[in-house]
Amino acid sequence: MRIGIPQELMPLPFMAWLKEQLSRHKEIEWHHKPTHKSKKIMLSEGDACHPFKSMVRTSIDLLPEIDTLLIPRLVKLDSHLMCPNFRALPDIVRLNINNICPEFAGKLNDITVDSSTSDEDNRVLIRLVKQLFAQNISAKNIVKKKQIPASLASKETTFPQKTIALLGHPYLLENNHLNMGITRQLSSLGYQITTPKDIPFKNLDALARKGDYYAKTNYWRSSREILGAFHYYTNIRKPAGIIYLIAFNCGVDALMRIELVSLHAKLPQTIPFMVLVGDEHTEQEHTATRLEAYLDIIDGI
């Protein structure tokens, strides 16, 4: 069976777990087309953030070579909400399929994921296996999500010299097309990179709780991950610098950016912090220039 998942979704830990679990029940040929600029004219080319537009394009491009396009409707992961765009993503993809390639109309699977516990994740998997393979599986056969070693417990308070922490949505941190090649550029300049992926989400969530009060919890999962990581990198284990990658017009990051800049200004010891906003640029000179200036600051400290 050939299943396609847009590559931009794969950096989400839930998606990696789902893929691994599905592979245990059936031989699957996975397809994740590399992100690229599709020539097809989509309905979703308005003012959405570019990772979202990219997800829609990749999804459409996958269709001719797969049996099922799997785009779960990610409402809630790890007890926290995803941004509204993830709720709408399957619908926007369906709309584009109907408009551009109606012959593939039946290929989309948009199972809803609204999970707060691993039991609920398991229930999603059981339903999905039933939908895709017409198989019944028991929760006992499901392997739990891999837990990252609790690195917060590490006694280290610094990273190796020349380590830069990157903050941002997982798809921005791991997709070179979406992050304008920042990770590649940093590596080529001799810097190591650390990201929130190296820290268990529950630890980041606990750190993010500092800013919550009553009903005013920062309710998006990605916000909590970014905020928690900022606290971690500024208070627990300090890198040489922090770069916050943002996709232009991301509503979640627009607010988080204000909070992080405010927190950074109050730090007793300054860690160079840069916000880098990217869009669908075809060249990378602008990021290279900013990066060079930023690294000059770090090297000068």
**Binding-site size, another protein (CB under 8 A):** 44
The pairing of beta strand 2-4 with beta strand 68-70: parallel
255 lies in the site for another protein, by CB under 8 A: yes
Q: What is the DSSP letter of 145?
A: P
The distance of closest approach from Cβ of residue 162 to another protein in the complex, given in angstroms and rounded to an integer, is 29
In the bound complex, what is the minimum distance in angstroms from residue 254's beta carbon to another protein?
4
Is 105 a binding residue for another protein by CB under 8 A? The answer is no
Binder to another protein among 19, 25, 32, 87 (CB under 8 A)?
87
d(C-alpha 2, C-alpha 28), whole Å: 6
Letter string b/e over residues 73-112, b meaning 16 or more CB atoms within 10 A of that residue's CB: bbebbbebbbbebbbebbebbbebbeebeeebeebbeebe
Based on CB atoms, which residue is closest to another protein, 88 or 148? 88
Residues 34-73 that bind another protein (CB under 8 A): 43-44, 46-48, 73
Q: Which of 9, 66, 77, 92 binds another protein (CB under 8 A)?
A: 92
Nearest residue to 1 via CA among 25, 18, 21, 20? 25
Contact status, residue 183 vs residue 173, Cβ threshold 8 Å: yes
Of residues 185 and 287, the one with the C-beta less far from another protein: 287
Report if residue 257 touches another protein, rule: CB under 8 A.
Answer: yes
Nearest to 52 by CA among 166, 168, 171, 227: 171
Asked if 214 interacts with another protein (CB under 8 A), we say yes
Told to check if 279 binds another protein by CB under 8 A, we report no
Q: Helices 221-231 and 251-265 sit at what angle, rounded to 10 degrees?
A: 20
The CB-of-166 to another protein minimum distance in angstroms stands at 19
CA distances in angstroms from 286 to 10, 11, 184, 189, 282, listed in the order given: 27, 25, 15, 16, 11
Do the beta carbons of residue 221 and residue 81 sit within 8 Å? yes
Question: Can residue 112 be called a binding residue for another protein (CB under 8 A)?
Answer: yes
Q: Is 246 in the site for another protein (CB under 8 A)?
A: yes
Cα-to-chain-centroid distance, residue 97? 24
Among 134, 143, 215, 301, the residue binding another protein under the rule CB under 8 A is: 215
Segment near another protein (CB under 8 A); pick from 1-9, 92-100, 126-134, 174-182: 92-100
**Where do contacts with another protein occur on this chain (CB under 8 A)?**
43-44, 46-48, 73, 75, 81, 83-85, 87-88, 90-92, 95, 98-99, 110, 112, 211, 213-216, 218-220, 246, 248-255, 257-259, 262, 265, 277
